[in-house]
Amino acid sequence: MACIKYYMSLLSMAICLTTMAATSSVLASPPAVKAAYWPSSSENFPPSAIKTSLFTHIYYAFLNPSNITYKFEITNSTAILLSNFTTTLHHKTPMVKTLFSIGGGGSDSSLFALIASNPQSRKVFISSALEVARKFGFDGLDLDWEFPKTPKEMHDLGHLFHEWRLAIDNEAKATNQPPLLFTAAVYFSVDFFIDTIYRKYPVDSIIQNLDWVSPMCFDYHGSWDNTTTGAHAALYDPTSNVSTSYGLKSWLRAGVPESKLVMGLPLYGKSWILKESNSNGIGSPAVAIGPGEDGVLVFYEVEEFNKKNGATVIYDLESVSTYSFVGSTWIGYDDPISTTIKIGYAQALGLRGYFFWAVSFDHEWKISTQASRAWILNDWNETP
């Protein structure tokens, strides 16, 4: 009974935050973004399986340009995937807007640095991206460059954004079509304040040229440190600035409008093997990464693991995250409760919306449904 009252108080907190945000909203604000990335490797989860009533935008992840021509060289098999993706999602009820995302975590950062460094390579790359978008019926494009490594690369990124926006606007006028949406997935913070080489995103160019940016508010902890458990998408961290609250506020402090910020949320967790099974909280000593590829378990795998093994599940109020443990295995992740609190927080800040990585990772649409219900700020039946 006490547990139920506790969770109800958390939900009440989220509702209060959401109501505060909604009452301060103005009608001129753009409609909400409820987005998710669809990994093109999802063989058992085709676009037709996506419950579009929970989303406004779906990203195709990923495409990458040739390292020789800087163009997108689309194979026949990829062309079929792209056509099926846009056709399926545009014909579902309700329909969603589609974007294709360029890059991704496994892409070659140096290739994007090379492309962005030269006006001619930027032109070839941008032209090819627009051609792919129109040929396959996409509504927009997204750049997920992980990550520019130097101040010069950030400077070049600003030029790339500017020239890309000009090309989008010129193409729309020439073809008498609506301009393509233009977005970017970015680091959780506006600057790389914990890296050896300090650099900051080109904020002015982002404000002027992108429809929105999507801070990736996850992967704060992982297999690169197998000595300590961690809340890899913590809303708050009392011991450091590596948290979603700090990251989002850094973008706002830098001058990025609330209407151009879309908060990233994970549909996966990170696992560790505990050093001592009786020391099992966030920040407890660990000796190795846990189950899953590179210690990663998607949400439906977390749910299955917890049920099969009778794991203890704990909601951590301090970080706004959830973790489970059984024996020496520890998993940190977000569940519907922590996601709801984060949604309320984002709305209290007045943000544009949220996105998930990745749509195929949910379990029976539990988190996606809760997030969509919780987001009421500027939520009407229109997608930007």
Pair 98, 58: CB distance under 8 Å: yes
CA-to-CA distance for 145 and 143, rounded, in angstroms?
6
pLDDT bucket at 113, cuts 50 / 70 / 90: very high
Nearest to 203 by CA among 146, 142, 256, 144: 256
Looking at the whole model, is its pTM more than 0.85?
yes
The answer on pLDDT for 24 being more than 60 is no
Angle at 212 between CA 344 and CA 37, to 5 degrees: 75
So which residues are the catalytic ones? 146
Burial of 214 (0-12, 13-18, 19+ CB in 10 A): buried
Burial of 67 (0-12, 13-18, 19+ CB in 10 A): exposed
β 296-298/312-316 pair status: unpaired
The answer on pLDDT for 51 being more than 80 is yes
pLDDT tens-place string over residues 319-331: 999 999 999 999 9
Q: What are phi and psi of 97, to 5 degrees?
A: -85, 150
Better-scored residue on pLDDT, 101 or 381: 101
Domains of the chain with bracketed CATH? 8-266+334-374 (3.20.20.80)
What's the average model confidence in pLDDT over 371-377?
96
The answer on pLDDT for 305 being more than 80 is yes
pLDDT tens-place string over residues 136-152: 999 999 999 999 999 99
CA-to-CA distance for 222 and 230, rounded, in angstroms?
8
One-letter amino acid identity for 41? S
| Cα maximum dimension of the chain | 66
pLDDT bucket at 29, cuts 50 / 70 / 90: confident
What pLDDT is stored for residue 43 in this prediction?
87
The answer on pLDDT for 22 being more than 50 is no
Six-digit token string for 102: 């360029």
What pLDDT is stored for residue 28 in this prediction?
56
What's the average model confidence in pLDDT over 11-20?
48
pLDDT bucket at 289, cuts 50 / 70 / 90: very high
What's the average model confidence in pLDDT over 116-136?
98
pLDDT bucket at 380, cuts 50 / 70 / 90: low
Pair 221, 231: CB distance under 8 Å: yes
pLDDT tens-place string over residues 341-370: 999 999 999 999 999 999 999 999 999 999
3-class DSSP assignment, residue 78? helix
What's the average model confidence in pLDDT over 255-282?
98
Task: Tell the residue number behind the tokens 């406004």, with chain if given.
Answer: 56
What pLDDT is stored for residue 246 in this prediction?
98
H-type alpha helices, the chain: 2-24, 76-91, 109-116, 119-135, 151-175, 203-209, 244-253, 299-309, 336-349, 366-374
What pLDDT is stored for residue 41 in this prediction?
95
What's the average model confidence in pLDDT over 281-293?
98
Six-digit token string for 382: 């229109």
What's the average model confidence in pLDDT over 92-113?
98
CA-to-CA distance for 48 and 337, rounded, in angstroms?
28
pLDDT bucket at 251, cuts 50 / 70 / 90: very high
The mean predicted confidence, pLDDT, of the chain is 93
Task: Tell the residue number behind the tokens 């495409």, with chain if given.
Answer: 63
What pLDDT is stored for residue 384 in this prediction?
58
CA-to-CA distance for 163 and 149, rounded, in angstroms?
21
CB crowding 218-248: b at 16 or more within 10 Å, else e = bbbbbbeeeeebbbbbbbbbeeeebbbbbbb
What pLDDT is stored for residue 379 in this prediction?
77
Other CB atoms closer than 10 Å to residue 97's CB: what's the count? 20
pLDDT tens-place string over residues 188-218: 999 999 999 999 999 999 999 999 999 999 9
The answer on pLDDT for 232 being more than 60 is yes
The answer on pLDDT for 8 being more than 80 is no
pLDDT tens-place string over residues 164-195: 999 999 999 999 999 999 999 999 999 999 99
Nearest to 161 by CA among 180, 184, 139: 184
